[in-house]
Structure 1
């Protein structure tokens, strides 16, 4: 019954089904899992305990004859006075002239509406006559689409529940877990979530469904990891430790303790018979690229090839340059493949790759095209992995026979989420910056302080340094009153007539972007005005000032990434946020940016502000669309579910205990045991 289409429910025809599908509701189970996003309470309130603007229900006696006034076309305003306890208030109803004949002095009424505490006035939404309210005291409110109304969804859900009650519905959550946490059974919990009669019962029902959803999520992820371990499908690359240590000694700098630790974790994975699926996270400038170089070198010395996929051509070129400098002295051939590599040059490169003459291939999504064939791919690295879709990452991985996979990100995942949300990955964290790096000083200023900012930029440039200036738009917009790159470039050219000022944005061709970036790298231009094109990976150690116009228009993660473009050399660096932020959230963002340069701390804060969907990137992260759970708000439940799943898989109960048969069947139907993976 649960898997039947919604059209089996009385009253749902093809048009209504189409509207429900727009909400992601296809089956009866989907309908039951379309939970209310809030509830209307009709419990009678004491006026002494309510706030201004609250929606409330009160009971009282009519004190005055209703007064009716007409205005405009067919519009009316009806008002009357009523005693609620000892307080005399005014009740107002718009466009309900028919009520005049129904309201009589001394009669008891129950009124629901919006409370204006300043005027002791209630705007009526609903009125009932008599001493007792008819209907539920807590009513569900649903998201709707098309011709659907909250009332119609209530009716369909009620009908579905009535049908289900006629047949036995098995509860897939094992009895042991339900008893352990005193959870109601599934049907009871679903019914309570839709039609609660008490707040306490509602809380317990939500707890049950949140746990179920997070338990399934953890089970899926940990099964991928568990089965990978059981099958031993990795390459077991015989790492030559002496060669790797020699390579590390030759690096132009010493590794930090954190870099040493994560290097050890990655080398251990490469040499194990299990396929590596590791996330390397580190703040901007923490030195992830050198870890990638060590891993690629370790693989290359054993006769395997490596691939590094990055989101932009500028970043690909920069990585290829850096890796060439580090690896070429050791006889490692590094090649770059982007959409710019064409014709005979491209053909020759592909032939060399297939013959095994290229050890490391760096590129954009051009790497996943069909004609790109490796001879012996051992390691795949995806930098800024959240920018690639699940399918792109899978396509690159499929270029080899179960190659090891390393995901890298400079968007730190909050400590509270890393282990629980990425249960199918091992996680390495670089939590310290290279020595000699000075903390970037961050200031928040208003637009009317711009002249002081420009004076400061002038002093830095006189000292031989350079500056970035970031704008949210390329050109002027009628809809948005924010600075744009073209206007700012013109203003700065006027303010600094003796300087060369570059302009970078997404509409330039790749060649034009290269020229602008090259000029800035070589200090031929002293100021670079840009949109967020420079957000990821561009490295100009001589740049010490980052100015961000209308900073309130950027998320915390983006502001932090932009700030990470400076502070890459030994000079003191500065980030100046220009914002006339008005909302409390915007002010809070500016404040936290000035107080910390710790990306993990910022990501915790960003997560609270934005929620997990936006934080991880829509549909890019592999996180499911939770129906009721919220991995931020319900983090404790997520952690409990993770530990329960670990215990169940380690004990073998999941495979043998009949109590888990329904869950095993559900996961089997979803293809979890057929080699499907969560990316």
Structure 2
């Protein structure tokens, strides 16, 4: 028998060594960022099924997820349409008929028998008074072994099924040694429960109270490791200033007059903070937080000017080619006396070679680009300032790699997703924080409305009229492809439907699976008004600036966090025209409406972020976006924000006692994917 491996061992158990995981299933798990047995054990359920009671289908609401006892009244049939096929069967629940359908599951035909009695668990579709169930899990009533108690539900891809994932998780829990990273003395002092039991309870809770306690214990462990890892990568750096800026305050004030708008008081304070930083004895390491439309980019350009006017080089990094190209155009517009270059993954080999050579020779003053700027062969003659736009898309290590391309280079990281200050102080404890609270006066406020289904046709008609008037619209879907439960329309399906519904409107399609060059071209054409409407996933969430876009429509709005919805809303209202954000509910309910009402009634991103933290939990708020790849699926856990403070306290005590630096370094390699971690 193979020995168990702990999370911090160097040897990893392959997924195919787990029960029921074939090569095909392993590849599908890889798409969920699961590559080892350790990852499998840390693949936390996204929801739990309460199978202690059955429901009457006729009393259920649309999109409810329920357990029903039923009799199959017809033989299963395969139905084919032009685009896909599915298995359909008619059933009875309490004498009332309903249908059930399964997409991409032809094996269902052989599993269900006419006249048989089953337990179905799944999502209810209750449109037009005809109830149905989509992709329900089922089991014969007389031998119900699995569908009972509290059952975990996991995200799925491809050939994966809930049963296969549950079996693999159970096997991983048996084979992986779940060793706590928190030193024994600290665990004993705070009477922390056993980590192995917590993992057992998070995947197979007896009660919901057990699940909540397990989530809190695991979150404490995760944040302890994360915060300790941050300490390692931030520690031991020499922050003494190496580069001397010669740019004067008078030069900066003259430069600011180039903008076609006066800087707000918040922008002026931010520019002053940067000026003081770059003229101080210490290297700048500053986080610039500002709500959507607050003018952070203008502040960053002022900082870049300070570096260039002092005879140094600067780099501006963006997570997408669309945003990087937009930044490049702004640099060329406001800094025409300096030499600018552009570098991205889709740049031609000739362009890349030319830009890299010019940067190394000092023949370019500033470069705008994507992750391509981080390549080892990108060298600078005198890099002084690094600007990292939309910092939550980059890990700590990536930002560090950029700043280390210049001796003592200053770092300015920007975030348009306001992070609650309580979290900022923990994760960015070594950064000075500047917040821009106000917005340019020329921008009109965006009116937000929750649109009921009965008003959907009216909304589309309004979009058509606005298109004729020269105003543009965004349509945003949460999914590129159809949802595994059949309850969410995909962006491609929506694109086809809208073209049929509004044939006179010019629609464009945009999603994350497209190549960067294709996405950039579509966005440029949309900005140039070659399209009236853009049907997209959340790739347009940040940075996109289209002044004539006045309508944002978000489908299945309940599936997004408030802060993410606020970012999407920020794509409109960027000019002087009145703009609107329409939120469409895929699943009706008081909780969903209450959450969206917070967005409807608030325009302050910082307040919305605090609500998001309180209502969804810090794991859901941070997710993989706010903390890079350090925490993969912790967003599926629910726990109080106080856990983060406790983890920081425990980490501080552990470091004071000594002996955890090496452990934190190993954790850093695991969570961030770093290949080279240098400890001082």
TM-score bracket for the superposition, by shorter chain length: 0.5 to 0.7
Structure 1 Cα separation of the partners of residues 497 and 41 of structure 2: 53
The answer on whether the counterparts of 2:509 and 2:535 sit within 8 Å (CA) in structure 1 is: yes
Instruction: Specify the alignment match of 1:407 in structure 2.
Output: 413
The answer on whether the counterparts of 2:392 and 2:626 sit within 8 Å (CA) in structure 1 is: yes
User: Using a 3 Å threshold, how does the CA distance of structure 1 residues 553 and 629 change in structure 2: closer, same or farther?
Assistant: closer
Instruction: Specify the alignment match of 1:530 in structure 2.
Output: 535
- TM-score, normalised with respect to structure 1: 0.64
**Helix, strand or coil at the partner of 1:581:** coil
Deviation by residue 1:218-268 (Cα, 9 ceiling, x = unmatched): 45434554533xx33553443533222332344332222222333333334
TM-superposed deviation, 1:297: 1.0
Structure 1 Cα separation of the partners of residues 478 and 664 of structure 2: 46
> Unpaired segments of 5 or more residues in structure 2?
7-12, 27-33, 49-65, 68-112, 119-140, 151-162, 670-674
User: Using a 3 Å threshold, how does the CA distance of structure 1 residues 327 and 662 change in structure 2: closer, same or farther?
Assistant: same
- Pairing 1:618–2:618 present: no
> Unpaired segments of 5 or more residues in structure 1?
7-12, 40-52, 55-71, 78-93, 97-112, 116-142
The answer on whether the counterparts of 1:5 and 1:26 sit within 8 Å (CA) in structure 2 is: no
User: Using a 3 Å threshold, how does the CA distance of structure 1 residues 430 and 38 change in structure 2: closer, same or farther?
Assistant: closer
**Matched ranges for 1:113-192 at <5 A:** 172=183, 183-184=190-191
Instruction: Specify the alignment match of 2:474 in structure 1.
Output: 469
TM-superposed deviation, 1:562: 2.4
TM-superposed deviation, 1:305: 1.1
Q: Which residue among 271, 289, 294 is the counterpart of 1:281? A: 289
**Matched ranges for 1:496-507 at <5 A:** 501-506=506-511
Instruction: Specify the alignment match of 2:156 in structure 1.
Output: none
Structure 1 Cα separation of the partners of residues 606 and 646 of structure 2: 23
User: Using a 3 Å threshold, how does the CA distance of structure 1 residues 582 and 669 change in structure 2: closer, same or farther?
Assistant: closer
TM-superposed deviation, 1:395: 4.2
Structure 2 Cα separation of the partners of residues 390 and 589 of structure 1: 31
TM-superposed deviation, 1:558: 3.8
Instruction: Specify the alignment match of 2:247 in structure 1.
Output: 240
Structure 1 Cα separation of the partners of residues 213 and 535 of structure 2: 52
Larger radius of gyration: 1
Structure 2 Cα separation of the partners of residues 249 and 405 of structure 1: 24
Higher relative contact order (CA 8 A, sep 6+): 2
Deviation by residue 1:1-56 (Cα, 9 ceiling, x = unmatched): xx9847xxxxxx999985699999989xx9999999999xxxxxxxxxxxxx99xx
- Pairing 1:364–2:363 present: no
Instruction: Specify the alignment match of 1:251 in structure 2.
Output: 259
- TM-score, normalised with respect to structure 2: 0.64
Deviation by residue 1:202-224 (Cα, 9 ceiling, x = unmatched): 99999898767655544543455
User: Using a 3 Å threshold, how does the CA distance of structure 1 residues 460 and 358 change in structure 2: closer, same or farther?
Assistant: same
TM-superposed deviation, 1:172: 3.2
Instruction: Specify the alignment match of 2:230 in structure 1.
Output: 221
State the number of aligned residues: 550
User: Using a 3 Å threshold, how does the CA distance of structure 1 residues 369 and 223 change in structure 2: closer, same or farther?
Assistant: closer
**Cα-Cα RMSD:** 5.5
**Matched ranges for 1:218-367 at <5 A:** 218-222=227-231, 224-228=233-237, 231-232=238-239, 235-238=242-245, 240-242=247-249, 243-328=251-336, 331-342=337-348, 344-367=350-373
Q: Which residue among 487, 501, 506 is the counterpart of 2:497? A: 487
Deviation by residue 1:173-214 (Cα, 9 ceiling, x = unmatched): 667x976xxx3388x897899899xx9999999989876765
The answer on whether the counterparts of 1:236 and 1:272 sit within 8 Å (CA) in structure 2 is: no
**Helix, strand or coil at the partner of 1:294:** helix
TM-superposed deviation, 1:362: 0.6
TM-superposed deviation, 1:583: 4.6
The answer on whether the counterparts of 1:237 and 1:272 sit within 8 Å (CA) in structure 2 is: no
Structure 2 Cα separation of the partners of residues 491 and 201 of structure 1: 49
The answer on whether the counterparts of 2:624 and 2:631 sit within 8 Å (CA) in structure 1 is: no
TM-superposed deviation, 1:468: 0.9
User: Using a 3 Å threshold, how does the CA distance of structure 1 residues 358 and 664 change in structure 2: closer, same or farther?
Assistant: closer
TM-superposed deviation, 1:359: 1.2
Structure 1 Cα separation of the partners of residues 451 and 390 of structure 2: 30
- Pairing 1:448–2:454 present: yes
Q: Which residue among 435, 441, 448 is the counterpart of 1:435? A: 441
User: Using a 3 Å threshold, how does the CA distance of structure 1 residues 477 and 250 change in structure 2: closer, same or farther?
Assistant: closer
Structure 2 Cα separation of the partners of residues 452 and 76 of structure 1: 44
Structure 2 Cα separation of the partners of residues 17 and 582 of structure 1: 42
User: Using a 3 Å threshold, how does the CA distance of structure 1 residues 302 and 645 change in structure 2: closer, same or farther?
Assistant: farther
TM-superposed deviation, 1:374: 1.5
